Structure 1
Amino acid sequence: MLALRKFLAPLVATLVFAAGFTALGTTSPAEAAVPATIPLTFTNNSGRGDQIYIYNLGTQLTTGRQGWADANGTFHAWPAGGNPPIPAPDASIAGPANGQSMTIRLPKFSGRVYFSYGQKLVFKLTTGGLVQPAVQNPTDPNRNILFNWSEYTLNDAGLWINSTQVDMFSAPYAVGVKSPNGSTKTTGRLKPGGYNGVFNSLRGQPGGWANLIQTRPDGTVLRALAPGHGIESGGLPAGVMNDYINRVWARYSTSTLTVTPFANQPNTKYFGRVSGNVMNFTNSSGAVVTTFQKPDSDSVFGCYKQLDAPNDLVRGPISRTLCAGFNRSTLLTNPNQPDTSSANFYRNAVTNHYARLIHAQMVDGKAYGFAFDDVGAHESLVHDGDPQQAYITLDPFN
């Protein structure tokens, strides 16, 4: 059965955290001047001759409606879906040829800019919304299409735009935003040889990590799935993180894990101790504020299920910190979390090697290798409160 991934605009909650819990609806006079649309320059430096197709899909922030934007930034709501899902309207924009650029408009959206090489993507509509590609499912119609996407939110507080590997590592690209002073912040660019470097390193990593790589029937490399999807598809062992999880649980059954989730609130601390299968967190008064069941590997990689992180000021921030510590394998070496020094990350043999290898190949060391890679500001995200222009640049594969 086709895996359904409905577009429910998760970026808004994520970006509240990324912005240090700034209220996104609060604007200063400068922020209120953000126009209804801003230009996005889309440049094709891929070195490939494929036709590029661009899609700007998301949720309209003023109404909460799901839909797509055309090249002019005009919003189009999706029509009603069906059960079984029905084909979505063709929202594609023909992209630039290799070596060329084009400019489209980004509206006030929380959404994604997809881009595909050589073939249009297949989108369908179910009664709950848009069905997005889920290529960990071998029957997904986009399984053999080369594509990727960037995530962004544009609102009265500015633009947040990232490169993401939370679901997969695929066609290389960088993102950027121009400030009023003319300077441009960029992120997401791989080192020379970095694209092949990630795949070659996965192939050389024992324990099933090579099975994250998906190819076409002709052998063309398409992507590496994130490890949670690798577990879902059967390529990565379901217990790949169990040894580390067990050691963490044993360690904090006899000692205390201290979490200070807000850098600007050093006196807000929570204290974790394990009792049986549960880690209880107390505040400075000794009251239990939240509890976590012992997570499995999938919960660690996805930062969900046993490590669910609601958009609140207690459980969510603690969970994000735990998730980062598990993925980066810092929970045994530092009882005070978050550990934000990248020099301490991924030092254990049992770790998120997918995220480790991607970070190692980034020019600035930043990536979204897992959902809360922004803990300690290690995410591939740029923001400006008064954005003049956004950029997405397709980079060479070699």
Structure 2
Amino acid sequence: MLTRRTVLGLAGAGAAAIGVPMVASALFSRAEAADGLPVTIVNSTGVHPNAAIRMYVVGTDPAGNQGYASGSGVFTPLGAADAGSDGALDIAVRLSPSGSTPFTLPRMSGRIYFAIDGELAFRAVVDAAGRPALQYPVGWLATDPSYQVLHDFFEFTHNDAGMFCNTTMVDMFSIPMSARLTGAGEAVTGKLVDGGRDAIFTALAAQPGFERLVVGDRIRAIAPGHGIGAGLFSPTYFDGYIEEIWSRYSSESLRVSANNGTCTGRVDGSGRLAFDNGAGSFARPTTQDVFFCDGALLAPNDGVSGPVAAVLGAGFNRSVLDRPDQPVTDAAAFYRQPVTNHYARILHEATADHRAYGFPFDDVTGAAAYIEDHQPTHLEITLTPFGTPAGRPADPPPASAAAPAPASAPAAPPAGRDAYARIAADGFADQSGIQTEATTGGGRHIGFIANGDWVRYAAVDFGTAAPANQFVIRTASGAPPGVSGLVEVRLDGPGNQPAGTVAVADTGGWQSWREVPGNLAPVTGVHDVYLTFTSGQPQEYVNISWLTFRR
């Protein structure tokens, strides 16, 4: 199938539409007919009429040419003339005025996009090798011309071997859809539970650290990896858990079963997780590597290290990699730790068969919303009920697409302590569940901290010029394996939404100190600062020596 790693321009913006009659005549003259698969599009949104919906079928043909299918059963490859066009291509397919819409899908690999109440901008451009290519909409980039349009897509490969498809949510979720594929058998996937779309947005909005992934008035939710790039999600979110895993497998072995063999790995002296049986070694990943299953977790199509990388990526996202035998097949164990891919968890919980594509290797252990048939005769794609209609995202602010408005200060604030100096953790004004104890090397810190505890620092002055956008805590932990949690910064009340979050786990001991940075929603003025503590386990999991803020 067309992947996020091979499509040109998934991280760039498209162009405004231009007049296309001259371009269209050249494009359609190159159209290629091929054996097609009958497809039926069913609009069951309940709130959007057929006239408001447009479909775009884009991808590559068996020869590797990029193009689209805008005529039923016909693939049109891009040409050099198209790559020079300065604007969007007119390749939308309108649904039938009423009822279902028939379409014939040619042999190709790609995506079927659906747009509601607007048009998507697909541009013909030139890739690095000088070949014509399509630039796709980018739903997580606020400056993309299609950002304001409610849209989503379905991924597929239709070739001589059959039909292979999924209702992906790897990049984002917006339009709920299900797929029914018939042929040698019948398979269905993607259907949400009743009220599922609303449930997804409600759960994300209530999950600390993930709430900013909801765009506008429920127009879409973007995946955490893209949230990092947009400044909406912490780039250090998984760092504590990653450290825990690297520490564990420095002294014991990790066994990964893949492709009918088992590879055993351990973190070596260079800090790499090295496996036997030709599976190679892996550098310590970043949080972004984990969400994208890329970078240090890149999975080459070699049948050896690739499958091991896929299992590692799934184990990290599901927070089960602390188990030494992988992959974990018990779905009841997935996403049970407080530091986990809650975006994927929420998607799985909202699907009727509990299968979803919430991250790139969600197909490990068959948990993805994927179906295939080697003798396909028909595909039905249903745009399923919406529940509450989606609004539109707010226009992006001119200075930054990601940053919310700075928190405002209370009227006539009292003089407070400097947010940009170190604030001793034991200098709190109030607390719940917190105790202090001596710190090795002098001073005192707060400790004995477990789920539900909090501490308040009164009248912290962030100034009125440039806002603070980062915080740092000096932390230590001797928590046992599998115990971790979150440290959340909240302003003016322990029940308010977190302004910043970091994950913490074992650092090697209760006096083994590390400085951990985290992103912060822009803050100015004077505020009471609360640190709140959230964990899925009852044990104590963190000590804190000091905190500070940065611009």
Shorter chain as denominator, the TM-score bin is 0.7 to 0.9
Decide whether the 8 Å contact of 1:163 with 1:380 is kept in 2. Answer: yes
**For 1:57-96, what aligned pairs fall within 5 Å after superposition?**
57-61=58-62, 63-80=63-80, 86-96=86-96
Instruction: Kindly name which structure, 1 or 2, has the bigger radius of gyration based on alpha carbons.
Output: 2
2-side partners of 1:134 and 1:68: how far apart? 18
**For 1:177-188, what aligned pairs fall within 5 Å after superposition?**
177-180=181-184, 184-188=186-190
**Aligned match for 1:301, one of 291, 295, 301:** 291
1-side partners of 2:106 and 2:317: how far apart? 34
Q: Runs of 4+ in structure 1 displaced over 6 angstroms?
A: 81-85
1:293–1:82 distance in 2 versus 1, CA, 3 Å? farther
Decide whether the 8 Å contact of 2:251 with 2:266 is kept in 1. Answer: yes
How far does residue 178 in structure 1 lie from its aligned partner after superposition? 1.1
Provide, for residues 14-67 of structure 1, a one-character-per-residue CA deviation record: whole Å limited to 9, x for no partner: xxxxxxxxxxxxxxxxxxxxx810101000011123511001101001x21110
Q: Compare relative contact order (CA 8 Å, sep 6+) and give the higher one, 1 or 2.
A: 1
Task: Give the secondary structure class of the aligned counterpart of 2:273.
Answer: strand
Provide, for residues 355-396 of structure 1, a one-character-per-residue CA deviation record: whole Å limited to 9, x for no partner: 000000100000000111110011101111111101110011
Provide, for residues 52-110 of structure 1, a one-character-per-residue CA deviation record: whole Å limited to 9, x for no partner: 1001101001x21110012421111123378998324211100145x720110111111
What amino acid is the match of 1:274? V
Decide whether the 8 Å contact of 1:309 with 1:319 is kept in 2. Answer: yes
1:85–1:313 distance in 2 versus 1, CA, 3 Å? farther
1:221–1:5 distance in 2 versus 1, CA, 3 Å? farther
2-side partners of 1:291 and 1:5: how far apart? 22
1:348–1:127 distance in 2 versus 1, CA, 3 Å? same
1-side partners of 2:177 and 2:366: how far apart? 20
2-side partners of 1:355 and 1:186: how far apart? 20
Q: Does 1:360 align with 2:352?
A: no
Residue matched to 2:150? 146
Residue matched to 1:199? 201
**Aligned match for 1:155, one of 151, 154, 159:** 159
Residue matched to 2:439? none
Q: Does 1:173 align with 2:177?
A: yes
What amino acid is the match of 1:200? T
Task: Give the secondary structure class of the aligned counterpart of 2:48.
Answer: coil
Task: Give the secondary structure class of the aligned counterpart of 2:358.
Answer: coil
Decide whether the 8 Å contact of 2:114 with 2:151 is kept in 1. Answer: yes
Q: Does 1:245 align with 2:234?
A: no
**For 1:375-390, what aligned pairs fall within 5 Å after superposition?**
375-390=364-379
Unaligned runs of 5+ in 1: 11-34
Q: 127-136 or 314-323: which moved more? A: 127-136
2-side partners of 1:139 and 1:309: how far apart? 31
1-side partners of 2:242 and 2:48: how far apart? 46
2-side partners of 1:350 and 1:238: how far apart? 13
**Aligned match for 1:270, one of 253, 263, 275:** 263
1-side partners of 2:87 and 2:294: how far apart? 30
**For 1:254-293, what aligned pairs fall within 5 Å after superposition?**
254-262=251-259, 265=260, 268-275=261-268, 276-283=270-277, 289-293=279-283
Unaligned runs of 5+ in 2: 11-33, 128-132, 388-551
How far does residue 259 in structure 1 lie from its aligned partner after superposition? 0.5
**For 1:19-98, what aligned pairs fall within 5 Å after superposition?**
36-50=35-49, 51-61=52-62, 63-80=63-80, 86-96=86-96
Task: Give the secondary structure class of the aligned counterpart of 2:164.
Answer: strand
Decide whether the 8 Å contact of 2:89 with 2:124 is kept in 1. Answer: no
TM-score where L is the length of structure 2? 0.62
Residue matched to 2:224? 227
Task: Give the secondary structure class of the aligned counterpart of 1:42.
Answer: strand
1-side partners of 2:107 and 2:84: how far apart? 31
Residue matched to 1:340? 329
% same residue:
38
What amino acid is the match of 1:135? G
Task: Give the secondary structure class of the aligned counterpart of 1:87.
Answer: coil
How far does residue 125 in structure 1 lie from its aligned partner after superposition? 2.1
Residue matched to 1:14? none
Provide, for residues 325-375 of structure 1, a one-character-per-residue CA deviation record: whole Å limited to 9, x for no partner: 00011111x211111221110111110000000000100000000111110
Please provide the CA RMSD for this pair. 2.1
1:176–1:248 distance in 2 versus 1, CA, 3 Å? same
Residue matched to 1:121? 120
Provide, for residues 277-300 of structure 1, a one-character-per-residue CA deviation record: whole Å limited to 9, x for no partner: 3111112xxxx6411110001100
What amino acid is the match of 1:211? R
Q: How many residues get paired?
A: 353
Residue matched to 1:321? 311
Task: Give the secondary structure class of the aligned counterpart of 1:49.
Answer: coil
Provide, for residues 137-161 of structure 1, a one-character-per-residue CA deviation record: whole Å limited to 9, x for no partner: 2110011100011000011111011
Decide whether the 8 Å contact of 2:140 with 2:227 is kept in 1. Answer: yes
